[in-house]
Amino acid sequence: MIKETNGKLGILMPGLGAVATTLIAGVIAVRKGLSQPIGSLSQMGTIRLGKRTENRNPLIKDMVPLADLNDIVFGGWDLYPDNVYEAAVNAKVLDRYLLEQIKPDLEAIKPMPAVFQKEYAKRLTGEYIKPQTNKMVLAEALMEDIRKFKEDNDCERLVMVWCGSTEVYIEEGAVHQTMEALEEGLRNNDPAIPPSMIYAYAAVKMGVPYANGSPNLSCDIPAIVDYAKENGGLVAGKDFKTGQTLMKTILAPGLKARALGIKGWFSTNILGNRDGEVLDHPDNFKTKEVSKLSVLEQILEPEKNPVLYKDLYHKVRINYYPPHGDNKEGWDNIDITGWLGYPMQIKIDFLCRDSILAAPIVLDLALFMDLAQRAGMSGIQEWLSFYLKSPQVGKGLYPQHDLFKQKEKLHNTLRHMAGEDLINHLGLDYYQDEA
C-alpha cells in the first residue's frame, strides 16, 4: 500500500551547479507553463497495464501517486554562495530569456555552505564551505541543515540527490563495512571517507532517501546499505546515465541481440563544464573510468560469448575543453564483425548537452525514491538502474546495464506497487486456443 502524498517534498542537492540549477529552473518553468518536462519518464512517460487488447496506457504520474511538481521545494549546498539564478547564468546552459522570466523564483533559492575537502576534487576551489573540522562534526552540521531546511520550508518529506563532482578513486575498505566502523572513521578523519560519503551518512541517519549521481563510492558501502535496509532508508547509485554511456546501453544490447561481434570500441569525450575540469585530473578520472568501462563487459558477457567478444578492446577518454562549456561531444568508433568474420564499422558523434540530459534524471530519481519510501521499500533501489551508469546492486549480484531490461524492471516495479499484473511480453495467450 502506497501512502498518498501530503504536503511538500524537499529535494536537497549537494552541488548547486549546472545540473541542479538546470533542474530547478526547468521545474519552475514547467510549473509556470513556460515549457515541457521532456526527458522525464515520471512526467511524460506512459506505461502499459494489462493485455495489449485492453489499451490501458496511462501516464506514469497518473498511475502511481507521485509528488506533484507544484509541491516541490528545492535546496542544497555549494562551494559558492551564488543564488540559483546567478549559478544558472554562470553555468550557461539555459537561455537567458527563460531565466529572466523566472528570476525571482531562482534568486530566492540560496545554497548552504558545503562540506568540501580539496584533496578529493583537486581542480575545484571554493570558499563557501563549512569549517575544516572533524568529519563527524561536519556530518552533524549537515544533519542540522537537513532538520532546519525541513522545518523552515514546512516539508513533509525530503530526498537527497548528489549532484556534485566526481571525487578521487577510493576502494572499499574496513572503515566501510559497518556503521560502527564508519562512525569511528568519521571521528578520526579517515581519508577513505570523502565528502559525498559524509552527505550519504547524514541522509540515511536522518531517514532521507539518498541517490548518488556521480561514480563516487558514496553510499555504495555495506555500512550505509545495511543501515538503510534495517532502518527503512533508501539508497541508489551511481553516476547519472547521460551521454555516451546512454548510447552504449542502447547499441550494445542491439548488437548482442543480432549476434554481431565487436572487436573494438573507442570512446572519447570533450566537455568544458565544472565536471570536465574536475575529470581533467587523473585521480578523479580514474573514478569515472571504472564506472564507464564496466558497462560493455557486463552487457556483452564475453565469458559466455567468447567468439564474439573475448578480444574486445575498449578504451575511454575524457578531455577538458573549455570552449564547449556544458555542450559535450561524445565520439565513438565501433569495430564490429558480421557473417564469416567480415569487418564493419559504426561511427557516432553525439553532440549532447550534459545538464539537459541529467536534469530530468535527477527529477525522476527524486520522485521515484520518494514513492518507494512511501511504498515501504528500503535498502538498495536497483529498479532505478535505468538512470545510472554503474548501478548499485546487492551483495553477490552483477549490475544489469541493458537499457531495455532496466526499463522493464522499472515498469514492473511500478506495476507491482500499484497492484497491477507484471508483464513479460510472452504473448502466447493471444494465439493459443482456449481450453
- Cell 547521460, located at residue: 242
The strand pairing partners of 236, in sequence order, are 211
Contact 16, 87 (CB under 8 A): yes
Cell 482456449 found at: 434
pTM, two decimals, is 0.93
- The C-alpha cell of 26 is what? 526547468
Within 10 angstroms of residue 62's Cβ, the number of other Cβ atoms is 10
pLDDT value at position 272? Answer: 79
The confidence score (pLDDT) of residue 291 equals 59
User: The C-alpha cell of 184 is what?
Assistant: 569511528
Neighbours of 42 (CB within 10 A): 22
Read off the DSSP letter of residue 59.
Answer: B
Terminal-to-terminal C-alpha distance of the chain: 35
Three-class SS of residue 318?
A: strand
Q: Which domains does the chain have, with CATH numbers?
A: 8-240+356-417 (3.40.50.720), 244-353 (3.30.360.10)
DSSP 167: P
- Yes or no: say if 17 and 87 are a contact pair by the CB < 8 Å rule: yes
pLDDT at residue 283, rounded to an integer: 64
* 343-369: pLDDT as tens digits: 999 999 999 998 999 999 999 999 999
pLDDT of the chain, 435 residues: tens digit per residue:
899 999 999 999 999 999 999 999 999 999 999 999 999 999 999 999 999 999 999 999 999 999 999 999 999 999 999 999 999 999 999 999 999 999 999 999 999 999 999 999 988 888 999 998 899 999 999 999 999 999 999 999 999 999 999 999 999 999 999 999 999 999 999 999 999 999 999 999 999 999 999 999 999 999 999 999 999 999 999 999 998 899 999 999 999 999 999 999 999 988 877 766 776 667 666 665 665 667 899 999 999 999 999 999 999 888 888 888 888 899 999 999 999 999 999 999 999 998 999 999 999 999 999 999 999 999 999 999 999 999 999 999 999 999 999 999 999 999 999 999 999 888 888 887 654
Which helix (DSSP H) or strand (DSSP E) does residue 347 occupy? strand 343-353
Does residue 378 come out as left (phi exceeding 0), alpha (psi in the -120 to 50 range) or beta?
beta
Residues with Cβ within 8 Å of 106's Cβ and at least 6 positions away in sequence, in order, are 21, 24, 25, 28, 83, 84, 85, 88, 99
Q: According to the model, what pLDDT value does residue 435 have? A: 47
Pair 181, 174: CB distance under 8 Å: yes
Contact call for residues 403 and 429 (beta carbons, < 8 A):
no
Residue type at 324 in one-letter notation: H
Distance between CA atoms of residues 121 and 167, nearest Å: 5
For Cα atoms 378, 383, 385, give the angle at the middle one, nearest 5 degrees. Answer: 115
